[in-house]
Amino acid sequence: MLIKDRLTISILQKLVETKTIQEIADEYKCSYIYIQKLLKQYKIACPYSSKKNTKTLIGQKYHYLTVISYKGINHRHDVLLNCRCDCGQFTEVKRTNLVNGNTKSCGCLAYEPRPNQTGENHYRWTGYKDIPGYFFTGILKGAQKRRLEFNITVEYIWSILEEQDFKCCLSSVPIGFTKNFRCRRDTTASLDRIDSFQGYIKGNVQWVHKRVNLIKHNMHQDELEYWISHLYETLQPSKISNKIYHTHLWGRRANKS
């Protein structure tokens, strides 16, 4: 009698409840792949498909979770385990997520107070001091794309920012960076080239507010001062309300601390 005839659907369903695929293959003297193909053909999920039996996980603790019992299999054939969290709550966890460390608690860990993990304190921080890594990388890639000379370092531009006392070189408005990448638009500091016809080289960069840099664009600083003096005489800033000034010129100021 063929192995396929001996291993009917009902027999396989009973075997997979207590044995691994390898144990079934050894019992019927066939290959692991052959039993795996039969399970796939009959659409039977094996909770102990791995060589390490799931039952050996019962009683073990992974981070905040302790395995209580075997729950079953979901529609994606993922093994589910009943676990008890240190906070007292019970939850169902995928075996792969539990063993790999992707799931560490029932969810209570997300609400626990944690130390500040932003900026330099974050384990994935790639910047220097308050300057985020993505900020300096963006300047470098922009210079390469425009084929501009680039010979400055992040330490050099940080020293310039300290010399300017974290203020815009042209307007004396406080500037800074956001520590959250998702809120990077709130960053107010912008690195400007004094002479727009030269690249990012030492002696040709300064820190300005991003709004000021937007106004300056590719003008030389002398040309910018010329236009500002004429705009000042024409617009009569005394008639401009403080609310409009703060909203449209300053924008949302980044918190340096």
> Which pLDDT band, with edges at 50, 70 and 90, does 238 fall under?
low
Tell me the three state secondary structure of residue 90. strand
pLDDT at residue 209, rounded to an integer: 93
The distance of Cα 214 from the centroid of its chain, to the nearest Å, equals 29
Beta bridge partners of 91: 83
Render pLDDT for 61-79 as a digit per residue (tens, 0 to 9). Answer: 988 899 998 887 777 767 7
DSSP output for 103-162:
--SSSGGGGS-----SGGGSTT--SBTTB-HHHHHHHHHHHHHTT--B---HHHHHHHHH
What's the Rg (C-alpha) of the chain? 32
Residue type, 158: W
> Which pLDDT band, with edges at 50, 70 and 90, does 243 fall under?
very low
Closest CA to 175 of 140, 150, 144, 211: 211
Render pLDDT for 128-169 as a digit per residue (tens, 0 to 9). Answer: 888 888 888 899 999 999 999 999 999 999 999 999 999 998
